[in-house]
Chains A and B, each alone.
Chain A
């Protein structure tokens, strides 16, 4: 991150999310600057995905606000679409459109939501696929690709909207171990290119190496917000210590 020039990308203010009486997010507040790579870690069920999903309005919230690129959530429905076009998301299970080819997956949103022409969208799709290392697979269906390739298509699909922020929800958790790195490499490249990224992950090596900041969550609360070096070598919180002793 460039010191000094910190433009705000996302600000969460006292975000509360409940499922019935269960509190999934308990007054979470944080800010993320443009160009930052923030990794969210914590035990299962601690609210990582829920927090991430509030950042593009996939999850409604019960109180508090989430500001994204100058828009405030909860807000009007139309604005939600605008936000989502500017914020890409990558899911654990890829969620590619199985009845479309890779090409169709990549051109659908640019053509309908960005108003690109067929040729333009096609060219962009080809470029993106080459960039994530699967340029030759453009006319295949998702089911014909390996998990790692599918996830790279999913990343390319999100990038095709030229988003300003990318959200990743455990992008490598559904992959066979030998495919994890091909996906992490793509994410590393993105980070190096200056993309603002929020990454929920269990890949501690990646968080440590690529993250500018680590957010540690437990039981719906944001407990620790620290630079990777501090986070991994000088843990202070008890639950953080317990978590690290399990995963490191």
Chain B
């Protein structure tokens, strides 16, 4: 077996096009998933009632099923159940949005619940109105605490998006596989994918590691 970089030369635009599709899908999944996550998080934070129970169920359900299964269900079952006609890419976005919503809801909730009791008591004792307490006292430090978890999840999401190749979405892994089929240069194309993913994800993990040591320094004083 040889490793022939020339194999990439002619077809790398297709790989990059796949990367673009990957990024587009991830972008929309984050956008829609973020909205869903806020709703789910508030539902779960409410602590009781039907909204709470629905939120808990949705979060647990979409966090526990394997992403491949979720993707396949959305792709094949939603059209059957609701008569919706969706392209592979759209159903991929729907599936990943659900994946984002459930997971980010938990990240948000953990961040909010880790607010120190003393911070809230200080805010209460000043007679601050509830919206101000949320916006100025609870959220800024909570978001800072959540950042490493967000970024960790983003790397998971990027990797999970490659599973969309199984339903024929022309994202990066799909393109690489097709090109591999055509040229028999599987190794080269898949390695190129690995390199691109590494380039995307490595800075993120670096950020998380730095943030964690920073946090450690701050809290261990």
Contact = CB atoms under 8 A, between A and B. Distances in A.
B128 A108 contact: yes
A91 B136 contact: no
Contacts of A82: 127
The secondary-structure label for the interface of chain B is helix
Q: Which of A86, A96, A98, A109 neighbours the largest number of chain B CB atoms within 10 Å of its CB? A: A109
A108 B124 CA distance: 13
B129 A112 contact: yes
Contacts of A37: none
Nearest to A167: B125
A115 B218 CA distance: 34
Contacts, number: 63
A35 interface: no
Nearest to A93: B118
A109 B118 contact: no
Given A99-B144, A108-B136, A85 B126 contact: yes
A84 interface: yes
Interface residues of A, number: 28
A98 B137 CA distance: 9
B137 A97 contact: yes
Contact of B127 (A84, A96, A98, A154): A84
A108 B136 CA distance: 9
Contacts of B126: 84-85, 108-109, 113, 157-158, 161
A91 B132 contact: no
B118 A161 contact: no
Given A81-B127, A84-B124, A161-B127, A99 B140 contact: yes
B141 interface: yes
Interface in B131-182: 132, 136-137, 140-141, 144
B17 interface: no
A84 B125 CA distance: 5
Given A85-B127, A112-B129, A113-B127, A98 B141 contact: yes
Interface string A55-95: 01010000000000000000000000111111111010101
Contacts of A89: 121-122, 125
B87 interface: no
Given A91-B118, A95-B118, A98-B141, A112 B132 contact: yes
Contacts of B137: 97
A161 B126 CA distance: 7
A81 B129 contact: yes
B114 interface: no
A112 B218 CA distance: 30
B122 A91 contact: yes
Nearest to A98: B141
Interface in B101-133: 116, 118-119, 121-129, 132
B121 A95 contact: yes
A161 to B, nearest CB: 6
A86 B128 CA distance: 12
Contact of A56 (B118, B119, B125, B136): B125
A1 to B, nearest CB: 25
A56 B123 CA distance: 12
A25 B122 CA distance: 23
B121 A58 contact: yes
B128 A97 contact: no
Interface of B: 116, 118-119, 121-129, 132, 136-137, 140-141, 144, 218
29 contacts: A56-B125, A82-B127, A84-B127, A86-B127, A87-B125, A89-B121, A89-B122, A89-B125, A91-B121, A96-B122, A97-B119, A97-B136, A97-B137, A99-B140, A99-B141, A100-B136, A108-B126, A108-B128, A108-B132, A108-B136, A109-B128, A112-B128, A112-B129, A112-B132, A113-B127, A113-B132, A143-B218, A158-B125, A161-B126
Lowest 8 A-B CB distances belong to which pairs?
A85-B127, A84-B127, A95-B122, A89-B125, A95-B118, A109-B126, A112-B132, A81-B127
Given A87-B125, A99-B144, 11 more contacts: A58-B125, A84-B126, A84-B127, A85-B126, A91-B118, A91-B122, A95-B118, A97-B123, A108-B128, A109-B127, A161-B127
Interface of A: 56, 58, 81-89, 91, 93, 95-100, 108-109, 112-113, 143, 154, 157-158, 161
